[in-house]
Each structure stands twice: as C-alpha cells, then as structure tokens.
Amino acid sequence: MSAPFAKGPAAPADLPRDEAPAPAPGPGPLDEAAVRAMVDSEQGWIDRRIFWDPQVYALEMERTFARCWIFVAHDSQIPEVGDFLTTYVGEDAVIVARARDRQVHAFINSCSHRGNRVCFAEAGSARRFTCNFHGWSYALDGSLSGVTAEELYKDNPTFDRSKLGLHKARVESHGGMHFACFDPEAPSLADYLGEFRWYLDVLLDNDEGGIEFVDGNIKSRLKCNWKFPAEDFVGDAYHATWTHSSALQALFGNIPTMKADRSFQVNANGHGWDFGLDFISNAATLCEPEIVEYLRENEVRFAERLGKMRSRMVGSLSSATVFPNLSFLAGHNTFRTWNPKGPAETELHTWVFLNRNAPDSLKEKYRRGVMLTFSPAGIFEMDDGENFEHCTASNAGVVTRRRKLHTGLGLGSEVEHPELKGNVHRNQVNEANHRAFYQRWTDLMTAPNWADVPVR
Amino acid sequence: MSDAGKSGAALAAGVDRDLVFEIEQFLYREARLLDEERYDEWLATMAPDVHYWMPGIQARYRADKADLISRTRMAYFDDDLDYLTKRVERAKQTTAWAEDPPTRHFHMVSNIEVEATEIPDEWVVHSLVLNLRHRNEAEEQTLTARRQDLVRRDETGALKLARRLIRLQQTVLQAKNMNAFL
C-alpha cells in the first residue's frame, strides 16, 4: 500500500528527545497485560488511558465496584425500622433499608419484572417498595411481598416468589459504617479493610458512643473521572497548600507547613491515609473555636482509647480514601463517596459526622464548618473540582495520552514503624498512597477471582 | 409568610408602586454587583444580622412527614455576615484558581412580588433567579432558584437584605462547584 502523503522532511536531530518511558499503547484490546502495563506502581508511572478509556471504565465497573465493599450508609442515617435511603454501588442504583429484623439490607433498586426503579425518593420511611409499573411490591429486606392479581400466576411453572426478590447485596459494617458487596466470593469486610480498620477507629471509635451523621447530604456532579478525587484524598497532601492557597490566605493569612518528620502516609489493601501528628490542623480550618476546645478537652481521653500515636490523628492535617471511592477528612469530619457516572463524570455525595456523645451545639458547628470549607460551595473544595475536571478533559487528546503521568513523589520513603500498622512512609507530602491505590486497582483489574487478589 | 387568605388588595396594602419599584431596583443592582464581582459593595447591601440560606434540596415522597427543607440538614450556604465575608475574601485572592480567568456570571432576576409584614420597614420579597456561569472555553452551568427575601429599610433610609432563602431547583447540583451567590 502506498503512502497517502509524500514523506516529509526528517525531523531535525536536535529536537528534544522524549525522556519519558515508551509511549503508552493506543486503545488496543484490553487484556491483562495491557492493564498491567498501564500502572507502574514501583516507579510511579500512570497511563492516562485509565482516566479516559470506556473499555477500562467498563472493566472497572465489573472488577472493582461490583466486587468491592462499597460504603452505602451509616447506622445513624436509618435508625428505625422502615427507614431507607437510595444510593449507588458503581452505576447500580441500590436501596438501603432497615427491615423488621432491625438489620440493614441493601438491594438493587430495580423491579424483577420489567426492571423499573421501585424507589424514587432519596430518603424516607416506608413499609414496602412498590413498583409504579404493575404494582409488584417488595419488603424492607428486598423480598417480593406482593404481586398484583397474583392468581394470574397460578400454576405458572417459572413464577417462584422466593426467587423474584430484589437482587440483594451482602452487607457488613465497621463502627456503624455499612458497606455493601455484590460478590459472594469477596472476603469479609474485616479482611477487605485489613489493617486499615485500626486507622478507621481513629474516627469511628475515639469515643465510646462512636459517631453519627448530620441529617441530609449534598450531591454534586463533576465532569471528572472518579479516580482523580479518590487519589486526591488517598494521599495528596502535596496539593493542599497550593490548590487551597486562596482559602488558607482568606482564613488565616498564611500557609501552614507540613513537617516531614512529623507526618506519614500509611496504606493497607489500597486504602490510604496521609496525616500529620499535629492533632488539630484540619479541625482548626472549620473556624469554630468550640470544635477545637472540644478536641483539646478530650485529648487525654482519646489517647487512653487509641494510644498516644493514633490520638494525634483525630483532627490533624490529613485526608484518606477507603478503596475504591469512600473518602474522608479527619478534623473536618466529612465523609464522601465518588460515584462513577461514566469515564468522565462523577457524582459526589458529601456528609458531615461527629461524635454521638459530643455536645449538641457541636453538631451545628460541624455542619456549618464543613459547608464553609469542604462542600461544593466550600472555599476549599471549589478549587478542587476545577483540577479534577481539567485533569480528565485533557486526556481527550490522542497525543496528550501518549505521555504517562509521573506519580513518583517519595519513592524510597517506606519505613518500619514500631506502632503504625500497614505500609508506612515518612512525610505525608508523598505519593506512596497513590502508588498503593493504583497497585490495588491493578490487582483487582487483572484478577479473574478474588483468590488471585493479594493482601497488600 | 403564607399567601393563604390574602387578597390582592391586602397584599398591596402598605406597598405602593414606588416601593415596589425601589425594591426591584435594589435587586437588579445587587445582581449587577455580583455579575461585576463587586463583592465588597455587595456585602454592604447586607444587614448586620443577615441570614443567607441555600439548603440542600431532597427528593422525598409527598407522604413523607419530614420537612422539605430544614435548618438541621446540610446546606450550600447557611451564612451570617462573617461567613459571607470569608467567602468573599477567598474569591479576592490572586490564588483563587477557579476564578482566574474569571467566571463570567449572569444573574437574571424576575417575578418580583413585595408583601408587607407586621414591621413597617420590612417587606417579604419573592423572586426568581436564573444564574448562568461561563468559564474557560466552553463550560456553561445553569442554576435556577426561587428566593424569599426579607428586605429592611435601615436607619439611614437604605434598603438592606436581612434574610434570604434560596430554594435551588436541583437536588443534585449539576456543577463541579458553587462559586456563585444567588
């Protein structure tokens, strides 16, 4: 075949040479080797294709969201029998409800008959969920409880009520946080969280009453790949003083310094937390002195419960992600999930929490403080969305996609620590947790079965 | 502040056309101050005890007894003058990356109704606001909301915003952020 165009002049020899690793492959077939080649978690190179390619996204839905434990509700959101909320596991709509057995159940929000949604409210209290189409109704545990004119199905050989309930998830909880999982082969939630449970207890168990969620949440749509915000929270302390410079200047007139020798990144099974040992810095940005006073007054009690080291994390400069899409900020007391809506769109759900036994007046302080800082209208968060969207959009360019992204900050920073669990790296300004997050992502994306997924 | 039982004549009582005109101009000018990022002048239109509230909106069933909006739920804004000032202070920083290049704001205010209250110098004002935000090359976001304000004439004779309830139409904000005042 002849070339359609005459060959142009050879490139001058003095053009800058490409020092980056070999160009990433184009959108070829997505086999295990191709996925493996997208992430180099040893050296810290990420193929931009993982933020753009619809094939990668489709595999993510199958191999991460449909197989992992996904946070769906805190106990305090649905305290009474009949209380429910609707949310998502990946792109699958789910209902989370407290049934007559007082247990929390989660099931797919889609009728077994034609597939219509059976619940349209985002929260409330119900006796059952009834489909608008033909009136089939489902109990609070998802089982089929009523069929309109059921005599029509008399002697029908394939109609079996017991098999026509809504598709149920496994539900397990830690510290009142309920997670759903649609894979019967997945390990228990305890094993899935692994050593990260010890860290989660910094927030969930620093007080004997545990935590509760403030009523309601804020939902917003970002035109970004879900992994950009998830990786941002898993360990991007590096961006904090630059991206959020305007908010820090507005509130305090200066930029805080993060101490390399007094801060860490820790991770386990792809879940990660970067934190300082400053106890208070995140909480202080809420600009509510009563919150800082509460933490100071309880500093000794936290230490009795958690040990000195973990107690320093209760309100410190930090951020964290539970793989794949539950993020939180200690001190700010916000949990959030990044719900995928296609390769380039994410729905953010934001909640506020606090210790159940904290003074009532603190609930109002936390609610307003998070609103001012880390919500879509928050003076910190509004600069984040801008970054996430443009990191995603730039990958539309085929030439742009040929260069991998550098995620190598803090290579070689791993340390043995006498107290801290999991994989520990010194200095929270680091990308060790990014690399661990993407290692876990690669493990899951390339493993046909959970048995093939290593403990990290 | 329900309209129930009020006739048009009663609504108009104590509200003459000059006052309606003055309040309309007050709201239009406020919209232009926001479009032109004249935030200090905008803050100066607020009463010292202003409450500026944009609650989160939930989709709940009609039979649900829970309030449609609630002060104890999460909100986009539930601000006093101190909080509003902090937000403006951030927007004015040269490192407010989401504002540089500037967001091109467009506030359109309409359907203005003025109601008298028990207090001679305070009026309930209903309005609709349409806000368009354009950014960078092709970003375009639309926000629509119903507003219920309490407008007060202060001791100097100037109109001030004393309360604002902004009922957003979206339950899921269709935007990466809310870097706009409505």
The tokens for A432 are 């060790």
Q: Are residues A431 and A385 in the same domain?
A: yes
Whether A261 is in a domain gets the answer yes
- The answer as to whether A241 is a domain residue is yes
Residue B16 distance to chain A (closest CA, Å) = 37
Domain that holds residue A96: 70-174
The answer to whether residues A119 and A133 touch, using CB atoms and an 8 Å cutoff, is: no
* Block residue for tokens 């390399």: A260
- In a domain? residue B179: no
Give the closest-approach CA distance of A226 to chain B in angstroms. 13
Considering only residues 28 to 67 of chain B, which have any Cβ-Cβ distance to chain A shorter than 8 Å?
Answer: 54, 56, 58-61, 64, 66
With DSSP H G I counted as helix, E B as strand and the rest as coil, what are the percentages for chain A, rounded to 5?
Answer: 35, 25, 45
Which pair of structure tokens corresponds to residue A390?
């443009």
By percentage, how much of chain A surpasses pLDDT 70? 94
Please tell me the total count of domains within chain A: 2
Residue B175 domain flag:
no
- The CATH number of whichever domain residue A79 belongs to comes to 2.102.10.10
pLDDT of residue A319: 98
Q: Is residue A149 part of a domain?
A: yes
- Looking at residue A449, what DSSP letter applies? S
Q: Find, among A73, A65, A68, A70, the residue nearest to A351 by Cα.
A: A73
- Given a cut of 90, is residue B162 above it in pLDDT? yes
Closest chain A residue by Cα to residue B97: A383
Query: What are the residues facing B106 on neighbouring strands?
Result: B132
Cα–Cα distance between A208 and A224 in angstroms, integer?
A: 39
Of B73, B89, B98, nearest to A386 by CB-CB distance is B98
* Contact between chains at A377 and B77 (C-beta distance less than 8 A): yes
Q: Does any CB of chain B come closer than 8 Å to the CB of residue A105?
A: no
**Alpha carbons B14 and B119: distance in angstroms, whole number:** 11
User: Does residue B112 lie within any of the structural domains?
Assistant: yes
Determine the pLDDT at residue A13.
45
Count interface pairs A-B at CB distance under 8 A.
Answer: 136
Q: CB–CB of B175 and A220 under 8 A? A: yes
Q: What is the pLDDT of residues A263-280, one digit of tens each?
A: 999 999 999 999 999 999
Within chain A, which residues score under 50 in pLDDT? 1-20
Rounded to a whole number of angstroms, the distance between the first and last alpha carbons of chain A is: 51
Instruction: Judge whether A278 lies within some domain.
Output: yes
| pLDDT attached to residue A33 | 93
CB contact under 8 A, A386 and B54: no
Q: Tell me how far apart the terminal alpha carbons of chain B are, to the nearest angstrom.
A: 21
pLDDT in tens, A332-386: 999 999 999 999 999 999 999 999 999 999 999 999 999 999 999 999 999 999 9
CATH of the domain at B51: 3.10.450.50
Tens digits of residue pLDDT in A410-431: 999 999 999 999 999 999 999 9
Domain containing B159: what range? Answer: 8-168
Q: Is A332 a catalytic residue?
A: no
Residue burial A171-193, b: 16+ Cβ < 10 Å; e: rest: bbbbebbbbbbbeeebbebeebb
Residue A20 lies in a domain: no
Q: Which residues of B touch A287 (CB under 8 A)?
A: 86
**A222 and A313 housed in the same domain:** yes
C-alpha span between A338 and A317 (Å, rounded): 21
Active site residue A236: yes
Residues of chain B with C-beta less than 8 angstroms from the C-beta of A347: 172
Please give the structure tokens belonging to residue A362.
Answer: 């603190």
Q: For residue A379, give the nearest of B70, B74, B86 by CB distance.
A: B86
Q: What is the rounded distance in angstroms from the CA atom of residue A80 to the CA atom of residue A357? A: 19
Query: Does any domain span residue A375?
Result: yes
Has residue B106 got a pLDDT over 50? yes
User: Are residue A209 and residue A117 in the same domain, yes or no?
Assistant: no
Does the CB of B142 have a partner CB in chain A at under 8 Å? Answer: no
Describe the strand order of the beta sheet including A39-40 as a list of residue ranges: A39-40, A45-46, A405-406
ipTM over 0.95? The verdict is no
Q: Can you tell me the distance from the alpha carbon of A286 to that of A372, in angstroms, rounded to the nearest whole number? A: 8
